[in-house]
Structure 1
Amino acid sequence: MILILSERDDAAVEMVVPKLRERGAEFLWWDPGEYPAESRITSRLTGDSWRHTLRTSGRDYETSLFSAVWNRRPSPPRAPDSVTDGNHRAYVEKISRILLNGWEDTFDSRWFPGRTMDVIRLQNKLLNLAAAARLGFTTPDTLITNDFEKLIPFWEEAGGELIAKEVEFVEFEVGGEGHTFYTTPVTRRHLTDRHRLSISPAILQPYVAKSIELRITVVGERVFAAEIHSQGSRATRYDYRHYERSFSTYGVHRLPEDVERRCLALTASLGLPYGCIDMILTPDGRYVYLEINPTGQWGWIEAATGLPISAAIADWLAAAEPDLYPGSAA
Structure 2
Amino acid sequence: MDDSRSVLVLTNPYDVTADVVLRLLAERRVPVVRLDPGIDLHTGASLTAMYRTGAQPGTLRTASRELDTARIRSVWVRRLSPYEGPPGLSDQDRRFAAEQALWGAGGILASLPGAHYVNHPWNNRAAEFKPAQLSTARRCGFLVPDTVVTNDPHEARKFAVHQSGGVVYKPLWNTPYRVDGRPHSVWVREVRGAEITDAVSVCPHMFQAKVDKAFDVRVTAVGDRLFGVRIDSPDLDWRYRQDLMTCTPVEVPDPVACAVAAYLAELRLTYGAFDFSVTTDGDWYFLECNPNGQWAWQPAKTTAAIARTIADQLEKGPDT
TM-score by length of 2: 0.92
SS of residue paired to 2:67: strand
SS of residue paired to 2:208: strand
SS of residue paired to 2:57: strand
Deviation at 1:24, TM superposition (A): 2.7
Matches within 5 A, 1:234-313: 236=235, 238-245=236-243, 247-303=244-300, 305-306=302-303, 308-313=305-310
Tell me: CA distance 1:163–1:80, structure 2 relative to 1, closer, same or farther (3 Å).
closer
Q: Which residue of 207, 217, 220 maps to 1:217?
A: 220
1:194 match:
198
Separation in structure 2 between the aligned mates of residue 12 and residue 307 of structure 1, nearest angstrom: 11
Q: What residue identity is the alignment partner of 2:248?
A: G
Matches within 5 A, 1:57-96: 57=63, 59-81=65-87, 83-96=88-101
Tell me: CA distance 1:204–1:240, structure 2 relative to 1, closer, same or farther (3 Å).
same
SS of residue paired to 1:20: helix
Deviations 1:72-107 (A, max 9, x none): 1111235344x3322222221121111122212421
Separation in structure 2 between the aligned mates of residue 211 and residue 105 of structure 1, nearest angstrom: 41
Separation in structure 1 between the aligned mates of residue 299 and residue 259 of structure 2, nearest angstrom: 22
8 Å contact kept, 1:251–1:305? no
Q: What residue identity is the alignment partner of 1:240?
A: W
8 Å contact kept, 2:47–2:105? no
CA RMSD, Structure 1 to Structure 2 (Å): 1.8
Separation in structure 1 between the aligned mates of residue 290 and residue 168 of structure 2, nearest angstrom: 20
Separation in structure 2 between the aligned mates of residue 140 and residue 260 of structure 1, nearest angstrom: 18
- Structure 2: gaps spanning 5 or more residues: 1-5
Tell me: CA distance 1:161–1:194, structure 2 relative to 1, closer, same or farther (3 Å).
same
Q: Which residue of 35, 40, 48 maps to 2:41?
A: 35
Tell me: CA distance 1:243–1:271, structure 2 relative to 1, closer, same or farther (3 Å).
same
Q: What residue identity is the alignment partner of 1:77?
A: Y
Q: What residue identity is the alignment partner of 1:329?
A: D
1:325 match:
none
Matches within 5 A, 1:44-123: 44-47=50-53, 49-57=55-63, 59-81=65-87, 83-108=88-113, 109-115=115-121, 117-123=122-128
* Aligned pairs, number: 313
Separation in structure 2 between the aligned mates of residue 59 and residue 27 of structure 1, nearest angstrom: 10
Separation in structure 1 between the aligned mates of residue 128 and residue 92 of structure 2, nearest angstrom: 30
Separation in structure 1 between the aligned mates of residue 43 and residue 30 of structure 2, nearest angstrom: 29
Deviation at 1:18, TM superposition (A): 1.8
Matches within 5 A, 1:121-200: 121-159=126-164, 161-191=166-196, 193-195=197-199, 197-200=200-203
8 Å contact kept, 1:50–1:106? no
Q: What residue identity is the alignment partner of 1:257?
A: D
Separation in structure 2 between the aligned mates of residue 6 and residue 92 of structure 1, nearest angstrom: 20
Separation in structure 2 between the aligned mates of residue 293 and residue 12 of structure 1, nearest angstrom: 15
TM-score by length of 1: 0.89
Separation in structure 2 between the aligned mates of residue 98 and residue 288 of structure 1, nearest angstrom: 38
SS of residue paired to 1:224: strand
SS of residue paired to 2:141: coil
Separation in structure 2 between the aligned mates of residue 146 and residue 201 of structure 1, nearest angstrom: 4
Tell me: CA distance 1:306–1:273, structure 2 relative to 1, closer, same or farther (3 Å).
closer
Separation in structure 2 between the aligned mates of residue 157 and residue 114 of structure 1, nearest angstrom: 40
8 Å contact kept, 2:50–2:58? yes
Separation in structure 2 between the aligned mates of residue 75 and residue 273 of structure 1, nearest angstrom: 22
Tell me: CA distance 1:205–1:78, structure 2 relative to 1, closer, same or farther (3 Å).
closer
